[in-house]
Amino acid sequence: MITDNLGRKQALCLRAPTKRINIWVGAVRSGKTYVSLLVFLDALLKGPEGPAMIIGSSRDALQRNILGPLSDLLNFPAPTSKASSWSILGRIIHLVGANDERAERKIRGVTLALAYVDEVTLIPESFITMLLSRLSIPGAKFFGTTNPDSPFHWLKVNYIDRVELDIQCWNFSLEDNPILDQEYVANLKREYTGLWYQRFIESKWVQAEGTVYDFFDQEEHVRAEPPAYGQQYIVGVDYGTANPTGFVLVGINRSAWPNIWAEKEYFYDSRKAMRQKTDTEYAEDLANFISNHTIRAIYMDPSAASFKNECRKMGIQNIYDADNDVINGIRHVSQLLANGAFKLTSCCKNLIREFGTYVWDSKAGNRGIDQPLKENDHLLDALRYALYTYSKKGLDHITADDLRQQKAKALGFQDVTSPFYQPMQRR
């Protein structure tokens, strides 16, 4: 039975009467998505008749976070990422990605009975406002999940904290998921630090403030020399016209631990130098920067179109647009720092300086927006481009399980199903 492994709080969610607005807030892997999908499926069977909709921050996120798990629950093939609808339990479910303020146009004029939203805090408020107005069939209900965010986020201020609304919010911690192995829980707790730990482990609505990479420790993360390996090399590029331009060379070796190294940097500040370089000069600098290495991928600021063209004219290959998701990129780099997978060499002096001076924008935080201050961030942006884009789209995708398994090997354990390590049999 799909309900056999439910914890006390999860089982209570199934029995509790649902309000018009139902939101599950909680830590990563706390079971909020699983139980909310069970409630949604029950509503599809027993709820009001009429159109239903499932919404994600993007179609890829929707496919990964919701449609895949639903497919597993139902033992029924999930639709393709391009499908606009899905027929389950005798009902047509419309599938929508809502990744910017224009998304609300997609649902103008529709009438809905049920709606399920994945990661509500990542959806524009205008879309949610429009969606709730479309839930006009008698008995219509809204279901949504999210990790905690800023205490000033619109979801908390305008919905969760308003007791006069017909709303119910459940809060889940890691301990509310009974199927998690304790060693796995311990690994998760080590992988998150600072802001991310408070939100994704402790399930707290806390404001982003202070240093962005608060876990960075120069003694822990900086080494004098790079290792004598580099199975693969990637480069992150942050291109500036009036602002500084930075390159970071990253060496990756999946058979070692730590396996990701920032080995060297390039940094040019035209204001301090009192001379702006041309695209051609920067392309020549990049060519010299990578000349002694075989580069698998160069992840570049998507807005640097003219510079990318100049680099290609010069024969520089394997140039890709970086994924510029700032917050998720920062979170990814933070996890690599926390779990020990990433180190820097001491020659990356400007990158080290930026790690210590890169801070959250307090004014944006007071508006409920997680946003770093746009200062002391050029090499960090280049590094984020490389590490985060490679983790998602690189030629060798490195998952969190991969990282744990590599670390286990380095510590003398055999490679088995993560996160459960067994002692290696030594000969």
Q: How confident is the model at residue 395 (pLDDT cuts 50, 70, 90)?
A: low
Q: How confident is the model at residue 398 (pLDDT cuts 50, 70, 90)?
A: very low
Q: Does 197 map to a domain?
A: no
**319 and 251 in one domain?**
yes
Q: How confident is the model at residue 397 (pLDDT cuts 50, 70, 90)?
A: very low
Q: Give, in order, the Cα–Cα distances in Å from 285 to each of 70, 109, 130, 247, 386.
A: 50, 54, 50, 10, 18
**222 and 174 in one domain?**
no
| Mean pLDDT value across residues 47-56 | 91
**pTM to 2 decimals?**
0.73
Most confident of 61-75, 88-102, 118-132: 118-132
Q: Does 200 map to a domain?
A: no
What confidence tens digit (pLDDT) does each residue in 384-393 have? 999 999 988 7
CATH assignment of the domain containing 52: 3.40.50.300
Q: Does 418 map to a domain?
A: no
Q: Does 326 map to a domain?
A: yes
CATH assignment of the domain containing 340: 3.30.420.280
What pLDDT score was predicted for residue 1?
Answer: 43
How far apart, in whole angstroms, are the C-alpha atoms of residue 242 and residue 224? 32
**95 and 239 in one domain?**
no
What pLDDT score was predicted for residue 17?
Answer: 63
What is the 3 state secondary structure string of 157-173? HHHHCCCCCCEEEEEEC
Q: Does 40 map to a domain?
A: yes
Backbone phi and psi for residue 346, each to the nearest 5 degrees, phi listed first: -65, -15
Mean pLDDT of the chain: 85
**371 and 294 in one domain?**
yes
CB-based burial label for 254 (10 Å; 0-12, 13-18, 19+): middle
**381 and 247 in one domain?**
yes
Total domains in the fold of the chain: 2
DSSP secondary structure letters along 190-241: HH--HHHHHHHTS-------SBTTTT--HHHHEESS--S--SEEEEEEE--S
What confidence tens digit (pLDDT) does each residue in 204-245 have? 999 888 889 988 888 899 998 877 767 789 999 999 888 899
Q: How confident is the model at residue 158 (pLDDT cuts 50, 70, 90)?
A: very high
Region of poorest pLDDT, from 1-10, 53-62, 84-93, 273-282: 1-10
Region of poorest pLDDT, from 256-270, 333-347, 370-384, 397-411: 397-411
- Token digits for 288? 């010299």
What confidence tens digit (pLDDT) does each residue in 333-371 have? 998 998 888 999 999 999 999 998 999 998 888 888 889
**240 and 136 in one domain?**
no
What pLDDT score was predicted for residue 196?
Answer: 86
Which residue stretches of 109-171 are H helix?
125-134, 154-155
Q: Does 426 map to a domain?
A: no
Percent of the chain having pLDDT more than 70? 88
Q: Does 420 map to a domain?
A: no
Q: Does 75 map to a domain?
A: yes
Strands 342-345 and 21-26: unpaired
What confidence tens digit (pLDDT) does each residue in 164-198 have? 999 999 988 888 887 888 888 888 888 888 888 88
**265 and 139 in one domain?**
no
**142 and 61 in one domain?**
yes
- Token digits for 72? 């597993």
- Token digits for 202? 């402790």
**336 and 228 in one domain?**
yes
What pLDDT score was predicted for residue 427?
Answer: 29
What pLDDT score was predicted for residue 401?
Answer: 54
What pLDDT score was predicted for residue 405?
Answer: 53
What pLDDT score was predicted for residue 404?
Answer: 54
Neighbour tally for 377: CB within 10 Å: 22
Predicted confidence (pLDDT) at residue 422 exceeds the cutoff of 50: no
What pLDDT score was predicted for residue 410?
Answer: 45
**173 and 222 in one domain?**
no
Structural domain harbouring 99:
8-180
Question: First CA to last CA across the chain, in angstroms?
Answer: 44
**271 and 158 in one domain?**
no
**265 and 313 in one domain?**
yes
Domain boundary among 128, 162, 180: 180
Neighbour tally for 42: CB within 10 Å: 13
Q: How confident is the model at residue 394 (pLDDT cuts 50, 70, 90)?
A: low
CB-based burial label for 81 (10 Å; 0-12, 13-18, 19+): middle
Region of poorest pLDDT, from 2-16, 85-99, 270-284, 341-355: 2-16
What pLDDT score was predicted for residue 5?
Answer: 62
What pLDDT score was predicted for residue 81?
Answer: 73
